[in-house]
Amino acid sequence: MEKTQTLTRLLILTCRHRGAFSLLLLIALAMAAAAVPGGQADHPTDRRIDAAIAAAFDWIESHRATLEDGGLTDMIDEGVAFRFFRGHAPTASQREHFSQLFAEQMASLNELTEFEAWARRPNKPLIEHYHLVLAAHLSKTAGVSSPLSAVIAERAQRALATLIFDSPTVRLTTALFLSRLDSEGVADLAALLSRSMIEQLNRQPMVLPGPGAPERLVNTAGWWLYALVHELVALTDFGRLPASPWLTDRRDAVVDVLLEAVTWASAQRNHDLLAEVTVTLYFLGEPLRPPLQAALDKLLADQRPDGSWGASTVSTRRNKVRHTVLTASAALLAYRAWRQLGE
């Protein structure tokens, strides 16, 4: 009887999302919970997390990025998310589903004439080389043979050698993902690390703007945190690599500001930044601390009935909704994993 009631409650939660993908996911989750008496999924918070993940997954499936909606960069972002989902989705069948989506996404991206034209276009800003190198790295990880990888790597190496005054973060992250393409002649990583945001933070702690601070300072702090997160993600390859000795020596300074940033981003209602900081802490192996749990509970509460978190007020992307859904889904999956660990 208790198992049936658990399934019924989860199905009721699904009604407002009306997605077949959500429905199947919640049925699987409820069956898994019924098979483990007294398991974590019997807790109200865990049921809310599962329902929120299902709703977000349904939004993602129903709003896939295209050339017209989000463009190539959003399609790459989906690849990043699918890679994470394939290892962290709640059930084996869903992990297999996202593993297939990941491979299909990277294969279709490499077949687009627009992607090839982008890869071969001369005189690109370094940030575009970063996106292309990331796409090549994701393709390799997905087991997709990309005929453009050599072109992308060669032109990115040339850009790193000439665009020496670009953002230190973009230079470092491009070089890190380029090094994972087995490219020769990659830029001096030690020199790039010495100019990174992580190193700056290690030398001088960052103070985030307080309540009532000018919008300019708040925006600057937000973009600084994004840069820090991107460096950490690149160094750990989205949590797949352990922290290097260099990063371990700077870990305390990094974690301190990220934990402060969790509460700060939540107060700013910057759901995308909150999610990215949360997932980065998860990649670094941090436990579920009370401020982090409070911020994740707020992220849960702020989800909209359609499964999204609404349009971002700070994003420069064409689609102001998608990236937050992708990152928030990953944050909720991390929340679920933390709770299962009993942290």
Q: 26 pLDDT band (50/70/90 cuts)?
A: very low
Shortest CA distance to 37 belongs to which of 14, 62, 63, 3?
A: 3
* Average pLDDT score over residue span 279-291: 96
In a domain, 267, yes or no: yes
In a domain, 160, yes or no: no
Q: What is the pLDDT of residues 89-143, one digit of tens each?
A: 999 999 999 999 999 999 999 999 999 999 999 999 999 999 999 999 999 999 9
DSSP state of 232: H
Which residue range is the domain that position 42 belongs to? Answer: 2-111+196-341
| Contact predicate 187/171, CB 8 Å | yes
Q: What is the pLDDT of residues 39-68, one digit of tens each?
A: 345 689 999 999 999 999 999 999 999 999
Residue 163 pLDDT more than 70? Answer: yes
In a domain, 333, yes or no: yes
Spatial distance between the Cα atoms of 74 and 8, rounded to a whole number of angstroms: 36
State both tokens at 282: 């998860």
In a domain, 283, yes or no: yes
State both tokens at 335: 């929340």
Residue 4 pLDDT more than 90? Answer: no
Spatial distance between the Cα atoms of 57 and 85, rounded to a whole number of angstroms: 10
In a domain, 252, yes or no: yes
Residue 34 pLDDT more than 80? Answer: no
Number of domains making up the chain: 1
Q: 29 pLDDT band (50/70/90 cuts)?
A: very low
In a domain, 107, yes or no: yes
In a domain, 80, yes or no: yes
pLDDT of amino acid 342 = 80
Shortest CA distance to 73 belongs to which of 299, 269, 326, 280?
A: 326
Q: Is 70 helix (H, G, I), strand (E, B) or coil?
A: strand
pLDDT of amino acid 185 = 62
HSE (side-chain half, CA atoms, 13 Å) at 283 = 29
In a domain, 151, yes or no: no
Spatial distance between the Cα atoms of 11 and 190, rounded to a whole number of angstroms: 53
Contacts of 278 (CB under 8 A, 6+ apart): 262, 292, 295, 296, 299, 331, 334, 335
Q: 314 pLDDT band (50/70/90 cuts)?
A: confident
